[in-house]
Structure 1
């Protein structure tokens, strides 16, 4: 018999830990143009949704603040009259560990907003319903595609450096 210790399989990287420590509405506005100005004739809503994301490190170790910014605008298809405008900034405080540095930025701007989205969807639905419109159920947002678009946009903005 040999006195060798059994070899352990290759070590697995530590498992990613993510926890939502808190959620909050940072800003919310709802402008109901239909009530203020009145729209005559048929109302056929055309809804546009814009999404922006922001992430920043907090002072505590492994904590990050993620803000999702939704702008929801509805115009009447027939005469382009505005029906409503909703702006919502919804945030979350996340505790994130064991994510490699090169993967942290996409993780914060893809996975964290995915966790917040059901709450955003509910707020948008409730506010539009309470504003006198049918509840608006937002379509799922592809945060990965949104992240890739932003990276591509930033790459195009960078001036091309020339070597002399």
Structure 2
């Protein structure tokens, strides 16, 4: 092998050392839909008030294997009465290897929920339609920005 070929081969080996993420499975861990004031709520007039809560939980299942659960809760109220409550726990099992600890943390909190969110979004939409309400379409979220903001707040709180 020439020197150039050796340099390319060494560069390829080093590039292969870059971290890898693989999606093993995506599934609905739990979902619920409640219409506590049915059927009277369908007669209510007024502008709906929507509250959206998003959370996530990460659990290590094995070495370099993690379950990430993204919880999306939507509460809709009309005239101070709950019209519906929809909640989906969208989960995935991810293999995450070749990263240092901070990078693994970032991948689990950005890449993984970004991949789960479209499934949760679809599930929420289907639940609301099947519950007799207009489809509720969650807006896209930037999990990278949310993670950066969270890390900034932690750093600020740690310095205070």
Q: CA deviation at 1:100?
A: 2.8
Q: CA deviation at 1:158?
A: 4.8
Corresponding residue number in structure 2 for 1:90: 90
Cα deviation, 1:58-103, whole Å, max 9, x if unaligned, reads 12x3211101011111122xx2322111122111001122223321
| Counterpart Cα distance in 1 of 2:88 and 2:64 | 26
Note the aligned Cα RMSD (angstroms). Answer: 2.4
Task: Tell whether 2:32 aligns with 1:32.
Answer: no
Task: Tell whether 2:8 aligns with 1:6.
Answer: no
| Counterpart Cα distance in 2 of 1:69 and 1:140 | 15
Instruction: State the aligned residue count.
Output: 154
Q: CA deviation at 1:140?
A: 0.6
Q: CA deviation at 1:37?
A: 4.8
Corresponding residue number in structure 1 for 2:77: 75
Corresponding residue number in structure 2 for 1:137: 137
| Counterpart Cα distance in 1 of 2:131 and 2:149 | 33
In structure 2, stretches of 5+ residues that fail to align are: none
TM-score norm. by structure 1 comes to 0.79
In structure 1, stretches of 5+ residues that fail to align are: none
Corresponding residue number in structure 1 for 2:148: 148
Query: Which deviates the most, 89-98 or 7-16?
Result: 7-16
Give the greater-gyration-radius structure (CA).
Answer: 1
Change (3 A) 1:153 1:62: same
Whether the 8 Å CA contact 2:33–2:84 is kept in 1: the answer is yes
Change (3 A) 1:134 1:91: same
Whether the 8 Å CA contact 2:76–2:83 is kept in 1: the answer is yes
| Counterpart Cα distance in 2 of 1:85 and 1:159 | 38
Whether the 8 Å CA contact 1:54–1:109 is kept in 2: the answer is no
Task: Tell whether 2:128 aligns with 1:128.
Answer: yes
| Counterpart Cα distance in 2 of 1:36 and 1:98 | 54
